[in-house]
Structure formats: C-alpha cells, structure tokens
Structure 1
C-alpha cells in the first residue's frame, strides 16, 4: 500500500526535478554566454551582472570609475559590459593616441548613439559614419573654418570686438551679483553664430536667449543631467522610466535647436548669392550647387545637423570652460595677482589681447591649461566603433566593438601628471619660466574625430579670459565660494551655478 502511494507521486517528483534541472541548465547557459569574451586576447575587465552589465557599479562619474578600475586591476586598455554590449575603454594618453591617431582607420567609425541618433541618425559630421564621404566633408569644413572662420588675424578681430561688447554689457550688470555662467553662453554663442549662421545678436535678443537657454539645458538641467549621462553610455535605458521622461525632454530640446537651424537654412536659401559667401551655411549651399563631389550628402537634414553640431559644441565647450576658469580663480586667488600682472605688462588696460604675445603670459596660459586638464568637459568623449578586427597594445579588438576614449583618464593619469588631482598650474612652466604646451592634455580629443573648433575654442579662452581680467576684479558674491569639486555631471561636466561681483579696474 505504501509503495503504491509513493509510486503515485513519481511523476510529480520527476516534474519537479526536471524543472530545477532546466532552471539550472538555463542559469549555466546564461552564465556561460554572459562571461565568455569575444576573443581570447580581448581586453580584461568587469562583466557586471547579466543584462545590465556594469551599470549598477557606476557612481556619478563613470570616467572616474573606469580610470580607477584601470589603475587598480585591468590596465590602460580594458573592457566592460555596458548592458549587453562589449565596450573597450582606453584610459591613458598612450592608449588613446595609439588607437585614434596611429590606428585611426580602424577606430574612427561611430556606433548608433541613442541619445543623438534618434532624431538625426548619422547626419552631421560628429555622428557621420567614417569613410571617404566623412573625410571629404571634414576637409570641406576645416577649409572653410581655416579660410573664412578662424584665420588667426580675422578671428582675433572678431573675438576682441565681441569681447569689448561683452564687457560693456557686463558693466550694466555690475551693481549686483552676476551669473557669468549664463552670460558666457551668450558670448560664445555669438561667436559661433557669426561663423556658422552669418549673424550677430544683441545680448537682449529674446529669440537668441531662448535658443541658448534651451541649448544650455540640454546637459545641465538638474532633473536630467545624471540620466542624460547614463543614456549616453547605455542607450537601452532610454526606453524605461524614469529615463524615458528624460529622453523625451532631451529630444524636445534638440528638435527645437534643429528647427532653429532649419529656419536659418531657409533664410539663406532665399538670399543665396554665389558671389557672396559669408558663413558656413552659404559655403554648404555653394557646394550643393557647384561642388564637384556629387556623391556627398548636401541635404537640408544633413546641413541642419551639421549646424547643430557646430552651434552646440562651439558654444557649450568654450562657455563651460570659461565658467571653470572663473571658479578656479575664485578658489585659488593666489594666482590672480600673477596673472593680472602679466596681463597689465603685456596689454595694459586698453590693449587688444593677441595670441602672438602668449610667451609673455606663462602663468595665464598655464592656468588655462591646468583648468582644462583637471576639468575634462566631455570625460568619455563621443563613442567610437571598431570598423575591423585589429590588434591594440597586445589585445584583439573585434569589429563592431564600441570604443570609449576616457579623456578624463588621460588628463588625470598619475604617470604623466604626478598628484593629478592637485590643481597646480606651475607644472606647465619650465625652469626658465616659459609655458609648456602639452599634447597629452586632450580636451578636444585626437585623431580623425578631433573637434573641428579646437583652434577657435583655444583662441576664445585666451582672449576672453584675458579681457575679463583686464577690465574687472572678479569676487565671489556669496560665502562660502562654491567648491571646484561640486559638479553637474552629464555628457558634459559643468560647474554648479554661482554668482560673482565685478569691480571695474579702469
């Protein structure tokens, strides 16, 4: 009787064992597929947890975490699972230079970046797929910027004129606390507007201010900044709350900017004169009509994305770096006297700042360079894609792998910069008191994808920083002064909001 009863439970017991066996097999297969690597010589690195990868292990600044993992365990070329994607991270200048410069043909493609490609796909030079068409349009853009937009003599005239207008504007605001962070967008936005769109705006122009405010909020909205940074790395998050809400706001702002660029394109098409090419849109329209390369994309959708790239990058990087310069000056006042003395001796109170006199301002140049080293604006740059199987520093990088140049890791590498977290401009001045320009500080990236506006941005930083200190004593409006360790971390690293008082030196 008992044996019959036990025998009746055999099918149920068997089913239970079968369920657990299947579950164990599934877990084993998941573990196997998750932990296997694309190649025996694929760079080492953490795998994280199934489906999410290393997402749960990141703090507010992924570049800092990746550099830490690199130094402590994995080396300059490492890997990590970002969601389900295999990602290779380059954490030193040597690794970045080897990949992006010496092996540029293999590491200059772009993956699908959900944050930016959703609206414009691969339109615009920043997101364009690497190949002959990219090289041709990059050459076209560089030639325009060199010949029309950033020829050294011409751009210094433009920058000094805009700087003088900006100073006069600030004088009307100097009776109380001033938000330089916002006003710097107006300043640098006007420079790129003249270069790309052929027009300058008064500082009270409401439409211009609205455009710049929308642009500024792309990366600094306190509701969305952290989420934007994560979506940039882990595109799949954009489909899930609360990231979906962030993505909707981001795309709404990006669409607003694209629409404004299209309005400018439409105006240019109505007034187009092939004998009067004044700005980038004119030059692009000229190439569309008269250019010899018929295989290139000269569509409006490509042009508006191109203009967006110029406008966002051109105003964001310079304005944010200027804000960091002022905040560093407030936190390290011991350098102000040295810098002001250099400026007074080189230019006096009314002389026009020119880069030809940089040799006479070693501390000024060193202060700017050290700020750019310690505050990498885009710590993880823009994602790259390996276009073929290739070897890199003893590792095999398979075709299709996403590659991240950790610019923060390079700029803060203890091998190149002893005590890298210490702000020390004197490290850029040699024993003869001369400023040493370093090619290992790469805020604008390197290789085929380096920032087209690098020359313009460097000129802006020098001229505008010098002109500000030529005309004003800049003091904190509140006590305590915001710390330089306080950051708004998104795709771009910005200082927190702060205000200053401006005391005229003239």
Structure 2
C-alpha cells in the first residue's frame, strides 16, 4: 500500500477486495480529514457477519458508531480519569508494578530471559488491577494460561494473515486452512470471554455501590444506578466484551512497543549509550522514573517516538465504515464504504519523514536539543475511535522502559541477537523474538 500511494495513487486510494470497494487513507492529511474533521461520518464499523458472531458486535472495538458507542466511550474515559489516568496515582501503580517486575527478572540470574513473553505479563498486571481489581504473581498458572490465550488472539503468526484475509473474504471460512484458523480464534475468544464472565459473576456477588474498586464494579454500578437514558446500552454481554477489549488491547500494545524498544537498543548501541547516560543523570540507579522529568530525557523520548513510527503496531488500524455518503479530498465516498486508515503509510510518508525506513531518533530533536512531539505519529489512532487507554499506555511505556534500562544492562543472549528486521505480522506487528541477557546494576 505504501508503494502504491507514493508511486501512483496518492492520499486516497480505492481498491477492490473481493466483491467490495475499499478506500485506503495513505497520508496524515487524509486520515485526519476523514477520522477527525468528518469523524461522525467515518467512524462506523463494517458489517462482518461471520466474525461478529464471536462477540455480537459488542465491546468498544467492534460496536457500531452511534449514541450507544458514545455512551460506552464516555463511560470508559470517565472511569480511567477517576482511576488517576495522567496523574501520580496511576504513575505510582505503574512504578510499583515495575519494581515487582525488576525483582522477578533478577531471579533469572545469568539465564537468558524471554522479554517478549514477560513484558506481556508486566503490562497485563497493570490492566488487571485496573479492570479486574486483581494483581497476579508472576508465574501464577491462572494468569499464565489466560495471557497465553489472549496473546494468541493477536499474535499467532500461524493464523494472523489467514484471519486478516478471512475478515475481507468471509466465504473462505469453509476452506480448510481458513476454517481451522477461524475455529482456533473462536475457541480462544470463547475461553477468554468465559474467564471475563467468571470475574464479573464474582463482582456481582460481592458488589458494594459505596466501594467501587475497578472497571467491572464501575460498570455494574452504571447498569444498576446509572442514568436512565444510557442504561439500556450497558448490557451484560457488552460488559464482558468491553472488559476483554480493555485487557487484550491494554496488554498487547504496551508490551509489543516495549519489546521493540529493547530490540532497537541492541540494533543501535550508540543510541543505547545516550539513553543510559540520560537515565543515569536524571534518575540515577534507584529513583522512580516520573513523567514530570520527561523534558530532561529528550533523546529517550525521541527514541520511543521513533520506534512507534518505524514499527506501527497496527499498520492498517481497525477498519472504519462510512455511515452516509460524503466527500473526502475531492472524492465522493458512498455510504457503507469500508475505510482502511493506513497508519504505516502515515508513518512512512517520505514527505514528512525523509528517508523514512531509517531509524533515526534525532529527527525528533530540535536545534535546541529539545524533544519535539509529533501529532503525525499516531500509533493509537485518532478521531472518535482513538484508543481509550492511550494515556495509560504512554505512561507504561516510558516508565517501564526507563526502569528496565535503569536497573539492568541488556545484552544479546546469543551471537544472533534480536533484530528489528525480524518481525511477526499478525493483527499486531511484534518482534519475532526478544531473548536477552540481563546484567543487574548492583
């Protein structure tokens, strides 16, 4: 898609996929025009009867755009703000979990560590405390089983491409390779939803309207005591799928980004040294990383932003659909057209990012040595359907990345170290491996 956009078709591209016309948005200008300036028209979801059977179009990700979606989004944002999103309260929780993780990593001694796997445990424990009100010990069998199933929903390299194709060509569901992939997805989804339901049942049995601990408590409160005009949208199935969405998305995006950051450190030792020096100068080897000190770590912030640009976690994001006929950049887009925001195209646009394939954090540092945040790097999406957990993810990524490099020197576990050239492309782009040796800074 990137090559087509640059060489021939430009900002807005129409392609035929199966029996349907699909419009691809290839630049920031096109994505912004559609999803922000015309968000009310471009924020619906395509109707996918086959895959929708898995969740009934419930949850914050799949729900059609409209009043019910707006009520769910408003509720989610309100809950996260009340839990301390963007404030010290949440930062303290993340730092405390990071300290637990450091001790867990120390237990490996000189044994190589599969950081890709364990970073998923780390970020999942933050969202678990937020959504379920429960913290798991690392290695807890229930926790491990749940996370292994969840990780395969997005990160199964064997099924990812098949499911992506199946999402566009549903008639392939009866062809053996695709049918088998769909059946595995169905079983995993059913298992995760059953786990979420068990926590919901437990919360309902112990519900105290005067003591709301987590997302499920808040949702039950809204069901029973919320505003009359929105209560009808707060169904049991919606709660179950919404909780699943929070858990899966909240675990996957942050952990994959952290894995890429560590891989880029190994691929770019000169940059790694600069980051180590910044961390040592600002926090030493014992101080808790805080977002308030980000300005004192300009290269570290630039490194994180560049990693998010070069490795777009969801290259084409979730598909959108038009709820009515509209005009976009001179083109008439009919009602019901599937819209694909090509976020990877945005991040690799040579007009914005010269030599876009090159990993270069310095492109985000100005002449005064200050970090420059870019609104054209949008790993969490933009518009009405932006990721609700973006603020949480950004704090997690910064604090955990700094804390890991503050406490450990990272080294390849073998001669063939993890590389940014080796990736798994499923629903999410992640490193093929992130096996490291960790040297504790005593």
Moved over 3 A (4+): 113-116, 232-236, 293-296
Q: Deviations over 1:7-54 (max 9, x none)?
A: xxxxxxxxxxxxxxxxxxxxxxxxxxxxxxxxxxxxxxxxxxxxxxxx
Q: Give the whole-Å Cα distance in 2 for the aligned partners of 1:182 and 1:211.
A: 13
* Contact 1:149/1:195 (<8 A) preserved: no
3-state SS, counterpart of residue 430 of structure 1? coil
1:47-66 aligned within 5 A: 66=1
Query: 2:226 matched to which residue of 1?
Result: 291
Count of residues in Structure 1 that have an aligned counterpart in Structure 2:
441
- Are the equivalent residues in 1 in contact too, given 2:28–2:346 (CA < 8 A)? yes
Whether the 8 Å CA contact 2:86–2:392 is kept in 1: the answer is no
Residue 217 of structure 1 and its aligned partner are, at CA, apart by 1.6
Q: Deviations over 1:107-147 (max 9, x none)?
A: 00111246742211210111111111211221111011011
Match of 1:485 in 2: 421
Distance 2:358 2:156 in 1: 29
Instruction: Tell me whether 1:102 sits opposite 2:102 in the alignment.
Output: no
Alignment of 1:48-447 (within 5 A): 66-113=1-48, 116-295=51-230, 296-447=232-383
1:172–1:241 distance in 2 versus 1, CA, 3 Å: same
The yes-or-no answer on 1:495 pairing with 2:398 is no
Query: For residues 385-424 of structure 1, what are the alpha-carbon distances to aligned partners after superposition, in whole Å with 9 as ceiling and x for unaligned?
Result: 1000100000000001000000001011111100000000
Counterpart CA distance in 1 for 2:376 and 2:163 is: 28
Instruction: Classify 1:364/1:113 alpha carbon distance in 2 versus 1 (closer, same or farther; 3 Å).
Output: farther
Distance 1:427 1:267 in 2: 50
**Do the aligned partners of 1:70 and 1:91 also contact (CA within 8 Å) in 2?**
yes
SS for the counterpart of 1:456 is: helix
1:61 aligned residue: none
Alpha carbon RMSD of aligned pairs, Å?
1.2
Alignment check: 8 A CA contact 1:227 1:243 kept: yes
CA distance in 2, matches of 1:112, 1:127: 9
Instruction: Quickly say closer, same or farther: Cα 1:115–1:322, change in 2 above 3 A.
Output: farther
In 2, Cα distance between equivalents of 1:335 and 1:94: 31
Contact in 2 for aligned 1:472/1:505 (Cα 8 Å): yes
Residues 209 and 86 of structure 1: is their aligned pair in 2 closer, same or farther, counting only changes over 3 Å? Answer: same
For the pair shown, the structure with the greater C-alpha radius of gyration is: 1
Please give the alpha-carbon distance, in whole angstroms, between the structure 1 residues aligned to 2:410 and 2:131. 32
Contact 2:24 2:342 in 1 (8 A): yes
Q: 1:490 to 1:414 in 2, by over 3 A?
A: same
Q: Is the 8 A contact 2:418 2:435 kept in 1?
A: no
What's the CA shift string for 1:73-106, capped at 9, x where partnerless?
A: 1111011111111110000011000000000011
Q: What is the CA distance between 1:458 and its match in structure 2?
A: 0.4
The CA deviation at 1:346 is 0.8
SS at match of 2:53: helix
Judged with a 3 Å threshold, the aligned counterparts in structure 2 of structure 1 residues 97 and 470 are, in CA distance, closer, same or farther, namely same
Residues 92 and 410 in structure 1, CA contact (< 8 A), matched pair in contact too: yes
Distance 1:113 1:333, change over 3 A: farther
Residues 115 and 247, structure 1, Cα contact 8 Å, conserved in 2: no
Are the counterparts in 2 of residues 179 and 500 from structure 1 also a CA contact under 8 Å?
yes
Alpha-carbon contact 1:196-1:307 (below 8 Å) kept: yes
CA shift in 2, pair 1:372/1:182, >3 Å: same
CA contact (8 A) 1:67 1:409 kept: yes
Counterparts in 2 of 1:115 and 1:149: CA distance versus 1, 3 Å: farther
Q: Secondary structure at the match of 2:228?
A: coil
Provide the secondary structure at the position in 2 that maps to 1:448.
Answer: coil
Distance 1:114 1:320 in 2: 30
Mean alpha-carbon deviation: is it higher for 215-224 or for 315-324? 215-224
Structure 1: distance between partners of 2:132 and 2:37? 35
The structure-2 alpha-carbon separation of the partners of 1:113 and 1:355, relative to structure 1 and needing over 3 Å to count, comes to: farther
148-157 or 224-233: bigger deviation? 224-233
Alignment partners' CA distance in 2, 1:343 and 1:114: 50
Distance, in Å, in 2 between the alignment partners of 1:233 and 1:445 is: 21
Cα distance change on mapping 1:289 and 1:183 into 2, 3 Å? same
SS in 2 for 1:449: coil
Q: What is the match of residue 451 of structure 1?
A: 387
The structure-2 alpha-carbon separation of the partners of 1:443 and 1:235, relative to structure 1 and needing over 3 Å to count, comes to: farther
Distance 1:254 1:261 in 2: 11
Q: Which runs of 5+ in 1 are unaligned?
A: 1-65
